[in-house]
Amino acid sequence: MAGEAKDVSYTGAFISCREPLKPNEVLEVSISVSLLSPRVQAIAEVVWSNPSSSHEEFRPRGMGVRFTKIDTTDHEMISALVADHLDIKDQDRPGEDLTA
């Protein structure tokens, strides 16, 4: 199955795909983080699924997965990328005090 991983976090991801699996199904995921990095490999469980919707703008087709088994190196890579992404988003808000 091919899909696009979106909203990747420390614990899981949203996978946008044409035919999402059903909740509780287990799958192996392989996520390409960047061209320079090796793929992140994990075993994941489907937590929720949205097979289709007339309101796909608000509820896109896909599934939410929770990582159940992931190598420490891959988990650290995701954690670093999420932290970098959050830092970039914080820099996009000039003048806003995020420490309070």
Residue 96 lies in a domain: no
CATH number of the domain enclosing 9: 2.40.10.220
- pLDDT mean over 61-70: 94
Q: What is the pTM of this model?
A: 0.73
Domain ranges, residue 24? 4-91
Rounded to whole angstroms, how far apart are CA atoms 5 and 45? 14
| pLDDT in the model for residue 35 | 73
Rounded to whole angstroms, how far apart are CA atoms 13 and 6? 6
Residue 53 lies in a domain: yes
Q: How many residues comprise the chain?
A: 100
**Inter-CA distances, 44 with 14, 58, 71, Å:** 11, 24, 12
Residue 10 lies in a domain: yes
Residue 81 lies in a domain: yes
Q: What is the mean pLDDT of the chain?
A: 80
Residue 31 confidence class, pLDDT cut points 50, 70, 90? confident
Instruction: Report the number of distinct structural domains present in the chain.
Output: 1
Residue 98 lies in a domain: no
